């Protein structure tokens, strides 16, 4: 679990990141980033179009959050909105994380 300081939870902040954020993407993830003076803050979105069952949606979120928690120092200050795309449901967890790591290398 991310610390409260590193969670992007307010609807206003999420909408701002979605509307004005710079977009990075690959076939499996989209990341919206908006620079800010705060600590890096993250929100992860996995819709029902990606996985119908909540168990799988939550599992993917936990995997991504754990990577983010361990590597917070490597991210620039700002707000990050991480969205999974429906193609990801065909991948294994290891492949999904590998694709997320590839996308994170673009962000740094």
Distance between terminal CA atoms of the chain?
22
Within a 13 Å sphere around the CA of 89, how many CA atoms are in the beta-carbon half? 15
Q: What is the pLDDT of residues 46-105, one digit of tens each?
A: 999 999 999 999 999 999 999 999 999 999 999 999 999 999 999 999 999 999 999 998
Stated pTM of the model = 0.91
pLDDT at 108 over 80: no
Q: CA 72 to CA 95: how far, in whole Å? A: 21
Q: How far apart are CA 108 and CA 95, in angstroms?
A: 20
8 A C-beta contact, residue 64 and residue 44: yes
Judged on CB neighbours under 10 Å (0-12, 13-18, 19+), 90 is: exposed
């Amino acid at each position: 679990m991310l610390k409260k300081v590193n969670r992007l939870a307010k609807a206003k902040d999420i909408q701002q990141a979605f509307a004005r954020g710079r977009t990075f993407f690959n076939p499996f993830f989209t990341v919206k980033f908006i620079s800010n003076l705060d600590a890096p803050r993250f929100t992860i979105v996995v819709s029902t179009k990606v996985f119908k069952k909540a168990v799988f949606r939550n599992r993917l979120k936990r995997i991504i959050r754990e990577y983010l928690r361990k590597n917070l120092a490597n991210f620039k200050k700002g707000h990050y909105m991480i969205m999974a795309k429906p193609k990801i449901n065909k991948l294994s967890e290891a492949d999904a994380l590998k694709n997320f790591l590839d996308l994170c290398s673009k962000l740094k």
